[in-house]
Chains A and B, each alone.
Chain A
Amino acid sequence: MFKIIQKTFATGIVTTKYPAEPAQISERFRGRPSFNFEKWKDARPAAEVCPTGAISVCDEGDSRRVTVDYGLCVFCGLCAEASADQAVRITQEFELASADRRNLILTAEYSLNTDRTHRELRAVHRRLGDLEEDVESVGQKARKKIQKLLRRSLAIREVDAGSCNGCELEIVALNNPVYDLERFGIQFVASPRHADMLLVTGPVTRNMELALLKTYQAMPEPKVVVAVGACGISGGIFGKNYASLGGVDNVVPVDVYIPGCPPRPQALLHGILLAVGRLGERLYDDSRGLGRCVLPAGRP
């Protein structure tokens, strides 16, 4: 016992100050790829190498629409390597969680030269509160709500609906002394009946669909669902196939999406805190109360 106490004191406090202070992360960390649409002379090489189709191009006559979906991105950095003039740059940004799936998607429209490179940027479509411009304020707004709401404690039920286990490793890391989720009054619980939040990793497999639905139904209202990682958001590299149903929102309604492959623990924390804010809204929202998702008749 003496040894245990001695070691504890010798180790001291290792818990991170995040989110009160900026996260201490390696400058090599590959976070959100940032796109300089004006400088981008050709999106095709990036779209060509992107393993999940997070960057896609659609040409019509002499115009092109480029779509960037952070909900599909696995943060491999190939797009930056493939693009000239540093038009695509890998940043260290990781606070990418969003309550709206559409916020994770950017589109840019170009007119084209005869060699199919970009001539002129016509428009960039990004939604309000978009992460490209506004990542800081989204985070800060969420934090304010949380401070008000976190007098209560939050119970999370995690369901692996078919992931590779990468996301689970980072979710488990939230309980280690460095990230220590319990300092916010947040804890993981064994039963969905005790849970306020369903944290789901994906893609949802055909074999896990029923288990996920049952878990969701077993939770009391109000409840929020958080989809974790590229696979949880969109099916990721697995997409939809004979065995995979793709993203979590194909099976249960999702309140917050956390991009990453896997999202680092701070990104998970940011997304979870964002979802806590949504939980407050759910309390007064009768329209989305009971029975948001009902098992079809004939299923056990």
Chain B
Amino acid sequence: MSTFFEALRQKFGARIQSIFAECEEEVYLLVGDPDIRDLAEYLRNEFAARLVTVFAEDRRSAEGVFFNYYLFERKGDTRYLMVRAPVRADHPEFPSLSAGLPAVNWQEREIQDWFGLKAVGHPNPRRVALHDNWPDVHPLRKDFPLETVLPPFEGERHIYRPALGEGVLQVPVGPVHAGTIEPGHFNFAVAGEPILYLQLRMFYTHKGTEKLFEKLPIHKAVFLAESISGDSSFSHGTAFCQAIERAAQMEVPLRALIMRTILLELERICNHVADIGAIATDVGFVVANAHASRLKEMLVSLNEQLTGNRLLRGMVCVGGVRRSWDPVQLVSLRAATDAFASEFQDLVLLIDSSESTRDRLEQTGVLRPEKAKDLGIVGVAGRASGVDLDIRRDHPYAAYGRYSFRVPVYQVGDVIHRMQVRVDEVKESLGIIRSAADESLDGEFRARVPPIPADRYALSAVEGWRGEIIHWIRTGPDNHLERCKIKDPSLNNWPALVEAVQGNIIADFPVINKSFNLSYSGTDR
């Protein structure tokens, strides 16, 4: 491990201001120059490090500069490496990494929109997070008040790239879709049935979440974290609480960690079984979905029994969990997981036995492993396309270090393999829940939270059901936050959808989209 830092020091000696570990899980590397292109390339080529996320922070009032943060991780190392580079306030520009690393395309453009820092050399520097009709504002700058009233919406000005050629049409879809789903705009260029090119426009549900985190006291911000993406309430809530706990340098009781683990896995199973049903529906196998949604209902009833809320809300808190479980609840947990396990087996057999369903799902919406790697795809979609990442195993949190489980990885990357990853993961999750429920659940479940000093920062990573969730916070005075960065896995994965639909018929778009099932709200925040 130290050889890693030695190598870095030798190679970049004078440019590295300092390397220090804020806690066991994260190492900070401070550089003095916004240009980290060669450093990023070196980390990638020599150490196979993956750039997890890029974000900015306005520190003009405290330190006179903006900071860009680049979070890296590498195989076999449980620590994250955070590279921090200053961007001058009087020269708000930084060199873009997107040309070589398409994974950060949107994230660099977010920095442009939200902080007004220009990503020099970005191949497509147009706005992404603020729509084209927005006035020239940068909401995450400290001198922009949250409650600013902007002039009314003045209509569309976004220009999609034209698709030209004989018989080529553009089909606009959204932001209001035919089904009960979140809003976003898809612009398909089609030649007859096959899709040539898909352009996405997201951020319709942008509601100022990251800015709002800077306004709320920490105990209230937990509820905001639960509302980042409704289907990942518990994962985002846990990610947020973990970040605060690390900043406060406090211990969370083991009992709470085990309970969190159980609830995180319940959230995973709930969403996976719903997706399996929805994928079946989108190719016309409605009976399978009727069973899948019935199974999901079994689980959300269990959620309610365990936490008082069907989406597991209002349970996690800084320091642990808000309520313990009595023996009756533990009996329901065991009984419901057992009943679910046997029903789930039936559901999988039912779908397996339908050849027409399999036929529609095989070789549909293929995302090749090399593309998935280039685009930085994570989570379920990544694992179906050869990207072997799982934070539960790579950077253990909660009580995951205590249980053994398998991480399914496939190389084919089509819809049926994204479904297979879910099927395998449900079985693994049931195993984790059983082992965790067998532990003796007694003792403290909520630790006292010490006063949290200002200017502490901390990183937290959670493998949500969809993939890698990252929260990074900097504390401020009076139990408030200075900055809260949220990265939902959806942000990484939308470009995968663009790749996967190419050459498929437009009628298969719904099932391909469902097989990724990305969160619009998590992306848009």
Contacts and interface: CB of A to CB of B under 8 A. Distances in A.
A29 B216 CA distance: 26
A77 B175 contact: no
Interface stretch (A140-148, A235-243, A280-288): A235-243
Interface stretch (B200-208, B365-373, B399-407): B200-208
Given A3-B353, A171-B180, A177-B290, A299 B231 contact: no
A110 interface: no
B358 interface: no
Contact of B219 (A28, A49, A77, A242): A49
Contacts of B287: 4, 7-8
B125 interface: no
Nearest to B354: A4
Interface in A14-46: 14, 25-26, 28-30
Contacts of A166: 227, 230-231, 233, 311, 313
Contacts of A164: 227-230, 521
Name the interface size band of chain A. 35 or more
B310 A264 contact: yes
A163 B206 CA distance: 10
Given A29-B304, A299-B155, A262 B204 contact: no
Contacts of B231: 165-166, 169
A165 B179 CA distance: 13
A262 B311 contact: yes
Contacts of A190: 178-179
A132 interface: no
A3 B350 contact: yes
Interface string B129-165: 0010010010100001111111011111000000000
A62 B182 CA distance: 48
B223 A11 contact: no
Nearest to B236: A164
Contacts of A160: 180-183, 205, 520
A163 B224 CA distance: 12
B309 interface: yes
A216 to B, nearest CB: 11
A241 B211 contact: yes
Nearest to A159: B176
- Report whether over half of chain A's contact residues are helix, strand or loop; otherwise say mixed: loop
B350 A241 contact: no
A45 to B, nearest CB: 13
A249 interface: no
Nearest to B519: A165
Contacts of B305: 26, 28
A63 to B, nearest CB: 27
Contacts of A231: 227
Contacts of B207: 162, 203, 205, 238, 241, 243-244
Interface string B206-221: 1111011000100110
Interface stretch (B33-41, B54-62, B291-299, B376-384): B291-299
A205 B181 CA distance: 16
A242 B147 contact: yes
Interface centre among B219, B230, B300, B521 (most CB of A within 10 A): B230
Contact of A237 (B178, B204, B223): B223
B338 interface: no
Contacts of A207: 131, 153, 203-206
A205 B287 CA distance: 36
Interface string A278-300: 00000000000000000010111
Nearest to A238: B207
Interface centre among B147, B156, B207, B301 (most CB of A within 10 A): B207
Contacts of B353: 3
Contacts of B519: 165
Given A176-B293, A242-B148, A244-B207, A26 B350 contact: no
Contacts of A178: 293-294, 297
B314 A242 contact: no
Contacts of B155: 210, 299-300
A170 B308 CA distance: 15
Contacts of B153: 206-207, 209-210, 299
Contacts of B131: 207
A167 interface: yes
A74 B204 contact: no
A205 B139 CA distance: 15
B181 A242 contact: no
A160 B524 CA distance: 13
Interface string A148-181: 0000000000111111111111111101111000
A263 to B, nearest CB: 10
Nearest to B285: A4
B178 A165 contact: no
A231 B228 CA distance: 13
A163 B223 contact: no
B314 A77 contact: yes
B6 interface: no
Given A176-B297, A190-B178, A207-B206, A165 B223 contact: no
B76 to A, nearest CB: 35
Interface string A247-269: 00000000000000110100000
Contacts of A11: 291, 294
A168 B88 CA distance: 43
Contact of B180 (A30, A188, A205, A241): A188
Contacts of B307: 28
B490 to A, nearest CB: 11
29 contacts: A14-B294, A26-B304, A26-B308, A51-B223, A75-B309, A160-B520, A163-B182, A164-B227, A164-B521, A165-B521, A167-B230, A168-B180, A169-B231, A169-B311, A173-B300, A176-B290, A176-B293, A205-B204, A205-B206, A207-B203, A207-B206, A237-B224, A238-B207, A238-B227, A241-B147, A242-B137, A242-B146, A296-B152, A299-B153
Interface of A: 3-4, 7-8, 11, 14, 25-26, 28-30, 49, 51-52, 74-77, 158-173, 175-178, 188, 190-192, 203, 205-211, 215, 231, 236-238, 240-244, 261-262, 264, 296, 298-300
Please list the 3 inter-chain residue pairs (A to B) with the smallest Cβ-Cβ separation, ordered nearest first: A166-B230, A190-B178, A176-B293
Given A163-B205, A298-B154, 9 more contacts: A7-B291, A7-B346, A74-B223, A166-B233, A167-B230, A178-B297, A205-B207, A215-B176, A296-B152
